[in-house]
């Protein structure tokens, strides 16, 4: 147990050192990128720095598997140079047994990242997207999904209009069971419109079977209500604005994703992108385990065998290759080319099996 704790401590220390180095580098690069995007506008430096800090956790979280494999390489190279692995084998511990502690630590790190870091990253990413959209166009998200249906907001200098729909098509441009409520600049309700269906095209909502209640010019809105077979309402919304308002799946905490996916289905939207992200987050602890095994397979040899640089390069290339395959599988899963379970779980399981086979071949074969 003491030996396992020692290896786990060495592994976590190496991962923290590599993670700190990447954090510093990514912060500097992202700061330069934010200055390039917003430096020419009337945005204070403090707010640009805030943007870079908010974007940093998402970047670190995304490359966590690469940090783990580099930390594994650093740990095992240090153990090989100090001959600690030789002593471990001489004491009767096989190479596979010495992997128990790093693998367990990587798995627990993955569980901690999904359960704790994921909601933190989601919060900072959502805040970053809101601020970025606000600085770019002066507008924030126009769409919201809830248990009551789909909510949209449109407006201009003369007032705002809140839109609620029971159902929608995949891009939010065709609404069913829709209600429009208009407000002036002071927040006073002006008009309510209900329609069986509303379609967005060419800067207007085309309503079918609509009924209009005037809330500001009459004492009895129901008495003075008007019905129309077809009715057009002006809109400043576009298809791209509605689609972009969903944000990225990473901006939603993993604890809220199942409910959000259900709401998307009920609203008529396709939740496939969010379902793929959810399954890949659940599989991420196994993916970190595969990275540890890949790093160990190439660097558990003693340095006197030579070719250390080639082995390290092979581990890095294999790790980056598996990381690329995982991202490629995610794209295929989101586009519907392969099942969601295959896209999320096949890369980490294949990486674990491949690395274990290589370890057993090199150590005992």
| Tens-place pLDDT, residues 81-132 | 777 777 777 776 776 777 888 999 999 999 999 999 999 998 888 788 777 7
- List Cα–Cα distances, 32 to 21, 25, 49, 52, 308, in angstroms: 17, 11, 10, 9, 36
Q: Is 333 exposed, middle or buried (0-12, 13-18, 19+ CB in 10 A)?
A: buried
pLDDT greater at residue 95 or residue 205: 205
**Most confident segment among 111-115, 174-178, 263-267:** 111-115
Rounded to whole angstroms, the Cα distance separating 283 from 270 reads 22
Mean pLDDT lowest for which of 34-43, 82-91, 135-144, 318-327? 135-144
Q: What is the pLDDT, as a whole number, of residue 105?
A: 93
Determine the distance from the C-alpha atom of residue 210 to the mean position of all C-alpha atoms in its chain, rounded to a whole number: 39
Residue 234: pLDDT above 70?
Answer: yes
Is the model's pLDDT at 200 over the cut of 80? Answer: yes
Q: What is the pTM of this model?
A: 0.75
Lowest mean pLDDT among 125-134, 158-167, 269-278: 125-134
Q: Over 60: is that where the pLDDT of 244 sits?
A: no
Q: Where are the alpha helices (DSSP H) in 139-271?
A: 239-244, 257-267
* Chain mean position to CA 259: 16
| pLDDT value for 148 | 67
Q: How confident is the model at residue 365 (pLDDT cuts 50, 70, 90)?
A: very low
- Cα separation, 196 vs 198, in Å, equals 7
Mean pLDDT across the chain, nearest whole number?
83
The CA distances from residue 304 to 99, 128, 208, 301, 311, in Å, are 21, 50, 80, 8, 13
Number of H helices, E strands in the chain: 12, 7
Q: Residue 305: which pLDDT band, with cuts at 50, 70 and 90? A: low
Average pLDDT over residues 155-166: 80
Query: Residue 163 pairs with which residues in a beta bridge?
Result: 152, 180
State mean pLDDT over 279-286.
Answer: 94
Report pLDDT for 349.
95
Q: Alpha helix locations (H) across the chain?
A: 2-38, 45-62, 64-81, 84-90, 95-98, 100-112, 118-137, 239-244, 257-267, 272-299, 308-334, 340-364
**Residue 203 β-bridge partners:** none
- pLDDT tens by residue, 311-344: 888 889 999 999 999 999 999 998 889 999 999 9
CA distance 365 to 348: 24
Reference 195, options 177, 213, 183, 182; nearest CA is 177
pLDDT band at 363; cut points 50, 70, 90 = low
Task: Average the pLDDT over 4-28 and give the result.
Answer: 91
User: Coil, strand or helix: which one is 146?
Assistant: strand
Q: Which of 50-54, 181-185, 224-228, 289-293 has the highest average model confidence (pLDDT)?
A: 289-293
Q: What are phi and psi of 358, to 5 degrees?
A: -65, -40
Highest mean pLDDT pick, 31-35, 122-126, 195-199, 309-313: 195-199
Interacting residues of 259 by C-beta distance below 8 A, sequence separation 6+: none
In whole angstroms, give the CA distance from residue 197 to residue 120. 39
Residue 246 has pLDDT above 70, yes or no: no
Determine the Cα–Cα distance for residues 176 and 358; give it in Å rounded to an integer: 57
Q: If DSSP codes are grouped into helix, strand and coil, which group holds residue 161?
A: strand
Distance CA 100, CA 289 (A): 10
Identify whether the C-beta of residue 184 lies closer than 8 Å to the C-beta of residue 161.
no
Q: Which of these ranges, 137-141, 188-192, 308-312, 325-329, has the smallest mean pLDDT?
A: 137-141
């Amino acid at each position: 147990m003491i030996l396992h704790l020692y290896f786990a401590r060495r592994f976590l220390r190496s991962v923290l050192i590599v993670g700190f180095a990447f954090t510093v580098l990514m912060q500097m690069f992202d700061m330069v990128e934010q200055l390039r995007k917003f430096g020419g506008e009337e945005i204070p430096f403090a707010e640009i720095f805030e943007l870079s800090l908010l974007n940093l956790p998402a970047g670190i979280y995304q490359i966590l598997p690469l940090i783990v494999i580099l930390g594994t390489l650093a740990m095992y190279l240090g153990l090989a140079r100090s001959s600690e692995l030789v002593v471990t084998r001489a004491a009767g511990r096989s190479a596979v047994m010495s992997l128990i502690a790093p693998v367990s630590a990587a798995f627990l790190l993955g569980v901690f990242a999904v359960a704790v870091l994921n909601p933190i990253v989601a919060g900072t990413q959502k805040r970053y997207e809101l601020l970025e959209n606000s600085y770019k166009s002066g507008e924030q998200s126009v769409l919201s999904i809830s248990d009551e249906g789909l909510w949209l907001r449109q407006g201009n200098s003369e007032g705002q209009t809140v839109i609620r729909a029971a159902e929608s098509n995949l891009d939010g441009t065709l609404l069913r069971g829709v209600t429009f409520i208009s407000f002036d600049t002071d927040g006073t309700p002006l008009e309510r419109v209900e329609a069986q269906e509303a379609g967005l095209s060419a800067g207007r909502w085309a309503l079918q079977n609509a009924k209009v209640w005037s809330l500001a010019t009459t004492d009895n809105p129901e008495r003075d209500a008007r019905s129309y077979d077809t009715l057009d309402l002006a809109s400043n919304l576009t298809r791209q604005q509605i689609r972009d308002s969903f944000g990225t799946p990473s901006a939603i905490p993993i604890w809220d994703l199942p409910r959000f996916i259900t709401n998307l289905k009920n609203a008529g939207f396709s939740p496939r992108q969010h379902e793929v992200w959810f399954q890949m987050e659940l599989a991420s602890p196994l993916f970190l385990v595969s990275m540890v095994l890949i790093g160990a397979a190439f660097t558990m040899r003693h340095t006197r065998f030579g070719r250390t640089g080639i082995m390290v390069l092979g581990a890095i290339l294999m790790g980056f290759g598996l990381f690329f395959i995982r991202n490629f599988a995610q794209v295929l899963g989101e586009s519907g080319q392969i099942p969601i379970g295959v896209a999320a779980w096949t890369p980490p399981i294949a990486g674990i099996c491949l690395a274990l086979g290589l370890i057993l071949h090199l150590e005992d074969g």
